[in-house]
């Protein structure tokens, strides 16, 4: 069983890379993202690489489940997540080609998150003794929709989703191998990690291919499900720490824009990672720092699982907040010059 996650990861990476090569000419013709005042790219670039990531991930996972059958409940949960991700990818594809009204987009996203929440993880409770079931479900739905959108919002720079989600998915794949979460959830994490790895060479600065909404939205959904499963296993602190940079950058930016009375559903360049490029950081300088912080967050999340005492949990959360805060401050002020 320990050999299955690496095999899934490798298979998903190869399939995603091959699909990127096959799909790119088609996307170049029909799904070209042209630069505008709010873009980080300078030349027209095809978007839709998320199709390759998702197809590679779910094909590799399906092959693993066919060769190594699992209990029906675990297989059904993965099937529900896969179908919801495909539906959300269709929403993203439509929005990439012909932008949808924000209200319609939000309703469709909430429907997909709700399907995962109520059909793939109906038994999960995070605060069974403190929060009524209906309130917890409503909060989980809201958090899921926000996470789907924040992954989309944060996918505005070459390699930034790779820097943010590849360490996270890899950590969750290891968590499945070591029994922190159930093995099939770990397989899903390994599949996502492999899909992102196969896409990475094509998104390397200067990118030849973008994820597009067709990729970022369902990837956000799958990642949210993985983190929800991790939190439901008793590792709530780890589930908060792993995406801490993405959560913090996106949430602070949203709150600031709300305070300024801006239309938060419209494109902008207010994120800290976007400020960093304006303030003089190179793209590789930004994503490299984000990757290093995310690797540190993986280590802190691992420590929070290994040492579950309350004071340990608070210390690891504080360390995650400090590391992330220092990076956000550096992005907002620009690089130091000697």
Per-10-residue mean pLDDT for the chain, 338 residues long?
A: 87 98 92 70 86 97 92 90 96 85 93 96 90 94 96 94 97 96 96 98 94 95 98 97 98 93 81 94 96 98 96 97 98 78
Q: Please, are residues 168 and 242 in contact by the beta-carbon 8 Å criterion? A: yes
Q: What is the DSSP letter of 86?
A: H
Q: Please, are residues 113 and 144 in contact by the beta-carbon 8 Å criterion? A: yes
Q: Looking at residue 70, what is its pLDDT?
A: 87
Q: Looking at residue 338, what is its pLDDT?
A: 42
Q: Looking at residue 114, what is its pLDDT?
A: 97
Q: Compute the distance between CA of residue 288 and CA of residue 109 in angstroms, rounded to an integer.
A: 31
Q: Compute the distance between CA of residue 323 and CA of residue 273 in angstroms, rounded to an integer.
A: 15
Q: Looking at residue 14, what is its pLDDT?
A: 98
Distance of CA 186 to the CA centre of its chain: 15
Q: Please, are residues 23 and 210 in contact by the beta-carbon 8 Å criterion? A: no
DSSP SS3 for 133: helix
Closest CA to 201 of 57, 53, 54: 53
Q: Sign (positive/negative) of CA torsion 37, 41, 42, 44?
A: negative
Using the structure block, give the residue that is written with the tokens 């494109």: 267
Q: Compute the distance between CA of residue 218 and CA of residue 91 in angstroms, rounded to an integer.
A: 9
Q: What is the DSSP letter of 28?
A: H
Q: Compute the distance between CA of residue 210 and CA of residue 229 in angstroms, rounded to an integer.
A: 28
Q: Alpha-carbon Rg of the chain, whole angstroms?
A: 19
The pTM for the full model equals: 0.95
CA angle 181, 186, 189 (to 5 degrees): 130
């Amino acid at each position: 069983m320990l050999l299955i996650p690496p095999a899934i990861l490798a298979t998903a990476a190869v399939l995603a890379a091959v699909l990127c090569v096959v799909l790119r000419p088609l996307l170049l013709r029909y799904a070209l993202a042209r630069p505008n005042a709010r873009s980080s790219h300078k030349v027209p670039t095809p978007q839709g690489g998320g199709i390759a990531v998702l197809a590679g991930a779910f094909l590799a996972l399906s092959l693993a489940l066919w060769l190594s059958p699992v209990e029906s409940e675990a297989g059904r949960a993965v099937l529900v997540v896969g179908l919801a991700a495909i539906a959300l990818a269709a929403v993203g594809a439509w929005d990439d080609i012909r932008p949808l009204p924000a209200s319609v987009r939000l309703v469709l996203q909430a429907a997909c998150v709700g399907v995962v929440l109520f059909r793939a993880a109906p038994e999960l409770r995070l605060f069974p003794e403190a929060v009524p079931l209906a309130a917890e479900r409503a909060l989980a739905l809201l958090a899921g929709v926000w996470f789907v959108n924040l992954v989309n919002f944060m996918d505005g720079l070459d390699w930034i989703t790779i820097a943010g989600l590849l360490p996270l998915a890899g950590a969750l794949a290891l968590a499945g191998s070591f029994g922190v979460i159930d093995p099939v959830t770990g397989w899903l994490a390994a599949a996502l990690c492999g899909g992102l790895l196969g896409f990475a060479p094509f998104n390397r600065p200067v990118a030849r291919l973008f994820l597009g909404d067709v990729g970022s939205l369902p990837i956000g959904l799958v990642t949210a499900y993985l983190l929800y499963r991790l939190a439901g296993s008793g590792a709530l602190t780890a589930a908060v720490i792993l995406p801490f940079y993405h959560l913090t950058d996106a949430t602070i930016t949203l709150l600031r824009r709300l305070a300024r009375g801006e239309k938060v559903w419209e494109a902008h360049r207010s994120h800290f990672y976007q400020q960093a490029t304006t303030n003089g950081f190179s793209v590789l300088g930004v994503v490299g720092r984000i990757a290093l912080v995310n690797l540190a967050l993986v280590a802190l999340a691992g420590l929070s699982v290994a040492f579950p005492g309350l004071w340990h949990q608070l210390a690891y959360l504080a360390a995650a907040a400090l590391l992330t805060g220092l990076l956000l401050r550096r992005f907002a002020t620009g690089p130091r010059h000697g």
